[in-house]
Structure formats: structure tokens, C-alpha cells
Amino acid sequence: MANPRVLVLRAPGTNCDLETAHAFERAGAVAERLHVNRLREQPSLLDSFQIMCLPGGFSYGDDVSAGRILGNQIRVRLADDVRRFRDAGKLVLGICNGFQILLKSGILLEDDVPATGGPATAQATLALNESGRYEDRWVRLHTQGSKCVFFSGVESMYLPVAHAEGKFVPRDAAVLAKLEAGGQACLKYRPLEEGAATSAALPAGANHTVPYPDNPNGATNDIAAVCDPTGRVCGLMPHPERHIDAVQHPQWTRMKKLPPVGDGFVVFQNAVRYFL
């Protein structure tokens, strides 16, 4: 397949769909932005795509909580279709608000259903930042393991974040241990200054090692991205589509040896290469 097709799913309030489609197209894909209502009317549209991406923004104004409304729409109206898409060996990516949607829809980490019956429970969520405010800054990231398709061949990245609810919180220690052991905690925040101490000035009871603002939200175990057990479904809080060109680096006018493309571009390249 020379040019995999990407469905960039948007909803009222989504505002990163154009940049995300552009990033995929720069990487060699054919991208189409599609409103969720069109997909609800005709779920079979998914059949003509190989990649589905939920971009960043504020779907439905983040009313109730970030990603909750669109996540519920997918859970109630489209879950079976998206799972069939996933199980057919295709890729699903959620960026920032898209990560929130994937978690709250149960597509990324399937809800646990007790063997004895009773309500299903989510394995994890994204909570309010520990700082209590919206965080808009650049962060350093390191990959963990090689499971995730989108981070294949990547060791570290420098990307921007922009969110108010980005603190990854697993339901309990057992879920966290499973994600870590299975290589699903695939991207983590690291100190901006390499070699810096990772435990200074942490608040009492902190469950992460990288201090604020390098871990901008207080995510458990400094987790910035999670993938499913197959490595083909991934949600991440940083915005790779906002760093696909060298000139998007915040210090591009001061640095003489920047690479020709931004660190985030490889995420989209890897998705396209997966189908070549």
C-alpha cells in the first residue's frame, strides 16, 4: 500500500485537526477530516481507512470533563466498529484530547468487568494537573520499550504540551504494574536538563520522580503516553503535530545544528511506514 488513508475524527471544539492531517500528509498518507456525526450515520466509512486519529483540542468544550462527551459517543454508538477497525490490524492514535477520549471510551484500555458481575471499571483516567491550572510548555520525553508502533526507533523527543487534565492516574497499583511490565507505559517525561536530579522539590505523597514543571501534570510514574497490548493503539498527551518542522522548535533561531524536521514528525512517519 503506497499511501495509507487516515481518518482524522473531529467534533465541535476540536482545533488540531488541520495540523494533524497536515502532519500525516507530509509523512506520505492521504488524510481526511471527518465529523463524528458523519461516522455515526455511516460507520462503514471506517473500512476505507488504515489509520484513525483523534486530534487535540476541546471536544464539546470539555464540558463535564475533558473528552468525556465524545468518549461516551464512541462508547455507546461506535465502540464495536472502532474495535473491529483495531482488530483488523489497523492503527489508532489519540493526541491530548484524543488520549482523553480513547481512555474514556474504553478503546485504549478496556474496562475491567468483575468475574462475579457488577459494573465495569476503567483501568485509568487523566485527571486535573497537580498545578491546578492549564499547562502550556515544552517537555523532554523518553520512550520505554519497543512495543508501540508510533515510537518505533525513537529514544527521546522534545515536544510541547497544552492541557489542563493530563495527569495519568491508574486505578490501582496492579494496573500500573501491568502497564509497566507489558511495555504499555511507552513514553515518559524526563528532566529538561539531562542529568538533573529527578526527586528534588517533589510535593509530599508524590507518585512520580520527575518534578514540576518537567513533569507538567504530576502523571503517575511520569507517564506521558500509553499503548494497548498490541502496540497499535496509542494515546499521548504531548503534541507531535506541533513539532514536525525545525522552525517550530522554540530556540530555532539560536541553535545552529537543528535536524531538518521536528521530533514529532517520526510519530506520523512510523504510522505510514507500518503499512508500506
Q: Which residues are catalytic?
A: 96, 239, 241
How many angstroms separate the CA atoms of 9 and 205, rounded? Answer: 38
Nearest to 196 by CA among 140, 240, 256: 140
DSSP letters along 206-268, please? ---SSPTTTSSS--GGGEEEEE-TTSSEEEESS-GGG-SBGGGSTTTTT-S---SB-TTHHHH
Nearest to 16 by CA among 251, 238, 197, 250: 238
Nearest to 16 by CA among 195, 132, 163, 127: 163
How many angstroms separate the CA atoms of 28 and 7, rounded? Answer: 14
Give the H/E segment covering residue 8.
strand 5-10
> Omega into 213 within 30° of 0, i.e. cis?
yes
Q: Cβ distance 27 to 19 under 8 Å?
A: no
Query: 124-127 and 30-35 as β-strands: parallel, antiparallel, unpaired?
Result: unpaired
Note the Cα 198 to chain centre separation in Å. Answer: 24
- Grid cell 503499512 — which residue? 275
CA dihedral 135, 139, 145, 147 (to 10 degrees): 60
